[in-house]
Each structure stands twice: as structure tokens, then as C-alpha cells.
Amino acid sequence: MSEISILAIDLAKNSFQVCGVRADGVVVFNRSVSRPRLYQLLAEQDGCIVAMEACATSHHWGRVAQSYGHETRLIPANYVKPFVKRQKNDHADAEAIAEAAVRPSMRFVAVKSAEKQGRAVAFRTHQCFVRQRTQLINSLRGHLAEFGIVAAKGPASLKLLEKVLVDPAVDLPDRVREMGAFYLQQIGRLTAVIEQLAEDLESATKTDEELRRLCTVPGIGPVTAGAIAAFAPDLQMFDCGRNFAAWLGLVPRQRSTGGKTRLGSVSKMGQCDIRKLLIIGAMSVIRWVVRKGGSANRWLASLVARKPRMVAAVALANKMARMIWAMTTKGEDYRMA
């Protein structure tokens, strides 16, 4: 199979569509293979370009292809869609991936290392458990509200709920007290895991130079720094800080035509986890500025005075993204402007 220059793979769980293309663009084969056969095919094939959509399991297969000496190209799914001819099926998708992989202006996704994906798993686990704990707290609050017991939102109200459930003076059926105890036990288990994961992130910021540097920026803590380290690619691949902010979806959406520039709200086309955390961090900085009645940063003080808080938070998050790019590429800590 030395004549094959591109192997385009439409990924799935157990059945994979593989399209082999020669250097002149002629399709040699386009067939479905099993998971064991795909491992064997990558091992037997001489070094070539292995193209896939950047989707679930793509980084694993990208690392497998690289281990056999292939050049891996991961393509965002939205960039492959225009090359699909007529009806959508696995056969057409594999051909479209092969066509998109050779476009000179195509943008590719860097293959993540196993260590980087491990960081992403830790971050996702933390976020998942936080959501589950919030769900349990809200469910318990809703159940007790049916018996006239109203508590505020958030984990801070757990102590009040716990006191109510054990207080014999409160008129509650025994079944409700029993179910409430189950809720509190589960919430306690999740809280212990969440705190442990948060401690691991915080301890990593003390030993990892990259994470420590990111935490010097106001509004960025261990969780945000961990998300940037887990999900952001090598920032050297961006030409400037604005490109990194655009990758995060923190720049205005453009609808320009006929020489007329028309800008709208932020595009939200990038990495949602980092974008969300940067905006939350920016909002905390703005709250501190409002509470103190001003800031040494004249740009920020003027922005908060002129714009609504959320607009100011998005603008500050955009600036934070640019600072992160500059700090990472130059290897410098944050300096107050």
C-alpha cells in the first residue's frame, strides 16, 4: 500500500470508514473496517497523512497514527461539511475528509498528548461533580419547600437544611427526614471529592511553572489555570493575542459586506469552558473594583463607569486572553499596566 498518500478515517465506535487516496487524488479504496483491523492497517501502511475529524476519540487515534510514523491531521467537523457531496453517509464523509485534508488553507487541530487529556479528565470530573452537587441541593430544597421550609440557593444553606431535618420541633414526616438524610450523605461525599480535586489543582499551581504564571493574573485561579492548561493548544501557534481571543470566541461576530464593517455580539465559536471561566473571573474583578470605588487600572475604571457590568466583563475577559497569550509566549509573569 505504498501508493497511498492519504488515509481519511471517518471515526466511530466499532466500524470505521477508511478512504485511501493516492498523491494524484485518485481514490484507491473506500471501505469499512473493524477496530482491530484499523490498528493493523495503520501498522502495515507506510508513512502517510492520516486525516480525521476532530471529534470523540480522534486524539487517541491521532496518537496511534503518530506512533506508527504517520502525519496526523485533525480537521474541525464544520470545515469538512462543505466537501460532502450530495447525501451524507460514511462513504461520502470519508471522501470529504480526504478532500479537506489537502486544502492549502485548511486549519488543523493539534493532537493532544495523553498527559494533556488527563488534565482535561480531571477538570471535567470536577465540573461534573459540582453540577451533581448543585442538582442534589436544589432537589432537596424543592422537596422541603413543599413542607413550608424555604432555604437560599447554594451550599451555604446546607447547614440550615441539616438542622431542620434533625429538629423534632419541625413538623416533617419520618419518611421525609429519612430521604433528606440520604441527600445530605450524598452531598457530603461529593463535597469531599470536589474539595480534593480543588486541592490537587491548587497544589499543581505551586509546582507547575505554567500554572503558577497564569495564576498571577487577577481573576484567574487554579481552576481556570487548569482549564487553560487542559484545553488550550500550544499558544505559540497563534500569531497574536487577538487570534487566541478569537479562538475562545471573545471577539465580535462579523457580518461585514460591501466594504461596510458590521460587528455584533461575541461569536462564542471557541472553547466554551475557558471562555466561561474567564468571564466569571473578569466579573469577580469588576465586583471588587465597584466595591472599592475605583481601580488603579484607568482603562478598567473607565470601562466599568461607561458600560454595563456584563459588557465590561466580556471586554476584560478578552484582554485577559491576550495577556495570557503574551505571558505564555514570552515566559513572563503578569505586570500591572
What residue ranges do the domains of the chain occupy? 4-101, 114-207, 232-256+267-330
pTM of the model as a whole: 0.81
pLDDT, tens only, 218-262: 899 888 988 888 888 888 888 898 999 988 988 888 888 888 888
Q: Which single residue is written with the C-alpha cell 465590561? A: 312
SS3 234: coil
- Tell the residue number behind the cell numbers 470601562, with chain if given: 303
SS3 5: strand
- Cα 46 to Cα 151: distance, rounded to the nearest angstrom: 65
Query: Do residues 252 and 278 touch, judged by C-beta distance below 8 A?
Result: no
Q: Express as a percent the part of the chain with pLDDT over 90.
A: 46
Sole residue written with cell 464523509: 93
Res 233: pLDDT? 85
For 202, the grid coordinates are 491548587
| Fold of the 4-101 domain | Nucleotidyltransferase; domain 5 (3.30.420)
Which pLDDT band holds residue 337 (cuts at 50, 70, 90)? low
Tens digits of residue pLDDT in 40-97: 999 999 889 999 999 889 999 999 999 999 999 999 999 999 999 888 899 999 999 9
pLDDT of residue 208: 82
Q: Has residue 181 got a pLDDT over 70?
A: yes
